[in-house]
Amino acid sequence: MRIGVDVGGTNTDAALMDGAKVVASVKSPTTEDIATGVIGAIRSVLKEAQQDPSVVRTVMIGTTQFTNAFVERKRLSEVAVLRLALPATQSLPPMTDWPEALVNAIGRNIFWIEGGYEFDGREIMPFNERQVLDAVRNIKKLGIRAVAVSSVFSPINPEMERRAQEIILNEIPDVKVTLASDIGRIGLVERENAAIMNSSLADLSARVVGSFREALINLGITAPFYISQNDGTLMSADYVERYPVLTFASGPTNSMRGAAYLSGLKEAIVVDIGGTTADVGVLTHGFPRESSVPVDIGGVRTNFRMPDILAVGLGGGSIVRDGEDLTVGPDSVGYRLIREGLAFGGDVMTATDIAVAAGHVQIGDVARVKRLVPDRVVDAALDIIHRTVEDAVDRMKTSVEDVPVVLVGGGSILINRDLRGASEIHVPARSAEANAIGAAIAQVGGETDRVFRYAEQGRDAALASAMREAEEKAVSAGGDPETFKVIDVEELPLSYGPGDAVRVRVKVVSDLVQ
């Protein structure tokens, strides 16, 4: 059996699965000490299933810890940035457009080094080992334990970044090094931003992974555990320590994967309604559609893979105000719903209270809610709630055709009527814990995004090389080489690239090594 756990801002959900069967699932409050919440959720789901911890063979965990730390500018490591690009790019230093508070949190420790490549693979300047060595010795004096290395067009040729990494680790063996070519895609600034973000989470990733490991030991679970990343696949614990940034937006991704599993749909729009927001995304081949544009995280533009998610301010805890213009959200009582909502004896009217007053769900003190919420408010609020979801679905569609919509999350009780733009609406069983189920069913993935010159090596050889690289990344993340499945191959010719230059992106998935 395997357990999936999703640690959210309000709730920590857990699901126990036996093969393709969901044995039990629970929803419990998230605790300030994340490990305590994980222990409580796992104990609860095992108790509901009447199972002993010894039956657990694998644990999959989804967490928002790294996203929250970066957005809140808390628990971040000081970072040194080596850019191998001189004499190019001097007009645009690293972290130029970052929020000042964020720069202050990680420091502006920037070292310029000669090097980099043109778009066709020619060197801008030869790699300068002496400059790298001088920079590393300065970093050592400063006591910085996290380094981000970036170079112009390194996805075409990562050799300079890798040589710099060798020098860094030779001088400071225990430092955490992130290479921009390992995370981001073509585009220096956004790719470099992603590498710096990852480095800033170096210490936190070790602590979080360690706390998860300790929590499982306390439960008597000796099975290996994995953490979900933002493309719907898993990473081993060691891989997460190296690349914590890849967990960003994994919560909505888990919900979408769970929605695909529970509904049986591979192509649909998923609306995951939580306590504060509704996350809307598109399923393609059963996986979340990826964003095709740079994504802003905490005020920083990045270009590493991220799901194409639209978040709107609608959730079960959204505050309803009956003024001149009735409003629903975007502010919310969040996890305080069970204390402050009318249904629970509080004095704040929420979207959940509207659902209760409308008779859609029996939660809390129904009589009190119906007494305090006028019918006209119920009708007006329901119109706003449904219109908000309809508008979000319409924004995510790529055609005028109606599409299937899957509702998941605890806030799915807010929707009780047909939605404009939806060909059909699915609210599967256990939809409230879709995120934990999505984590439990996740596979391991690997991706490569590089530029090849077909005239030099041929299309077949280039695709085979890209495939091998993607498979190697999947194996390093804990994947089984015997179960590889290609889910996406994309070829984008570069009009001005010499030698039939083509940007190739390959993504594979595989089952976990048992």
pLDDT of 351: 93
Q: Strand 403-408 and strand 300-302: pairing?
A: unpaired
Give the residue ranges of the chain where pLDDT is below 50: none
pLDDT tens per residue, range 467-509: 998 888 888 777 888 888 887 888 888 766 555 778 888 888 8
Q: How far is CA 355 from the centre of its chain?
A: 30
Q: What is the DSSP letter of 500?
A: T
Pick the CATH number of 78-188 from 3.90.1140, 3.30.310, 3.40.50, 1.10.3470: 3.40.50
Q: How far apart are CA 28 and CA 13, in angstroms?
A: 6
**Confidence (pLDDT) at 319:** 93
Q: Which helix (H) or strand (E) covers residue 361, if one does?
A: none
CA distance 232 to 509: 10
Report domain 1-76+201-248's class: alpha beta
Q: Strand pairing partners for 86?
A: 114
Per-residue pLDDT, 320: 94
Rounded CA separation 353/330 (Å): 16
Chain segment 420-443, per-residue pLDDT in tens = 999 999 999 888 888 888 888 888
Cα–Cα dist 182/202, whole Å:
15
Q: Which of 12, 13, 15 shows the shortest CA–CA distance to 1?
A: 15
Query: Would you state the pLDDT for residue 178?
Result: 94
DSSP element (H, E) containing 177: strand 176-179
Nearest to 451 by CA among 130, 122, 74, 179: 122
Distance, CA of 23 to CA of 205 (rounded, Å): 31
**Under CATH, which number does the domain 266-438 receive?**
3.30.420
What totals of helices (H) and strands (E) does the chain contain, helices first?
16, 23
Q: What is the pLDDT of residue 195?
A: 93
Same fold, 1-76+201-248 and 266-438: yes
Residue 377: φ, ψ to 5°: -70, -40
CA gap 138, 434 in Å, rounded = 49
Give the start-to-end residue ranges of the domains of the chain.
1-76+201-248, 78-188, 266-438, 442-510
> What is the C-alpha to C-alpha distance for residues 390 and 425, in angstroms, rounded to an integer?
12
Q: Cis omega (within 30 of 0) on the bond before 330?
A: yes
Global model pTM greater than 0.85: no
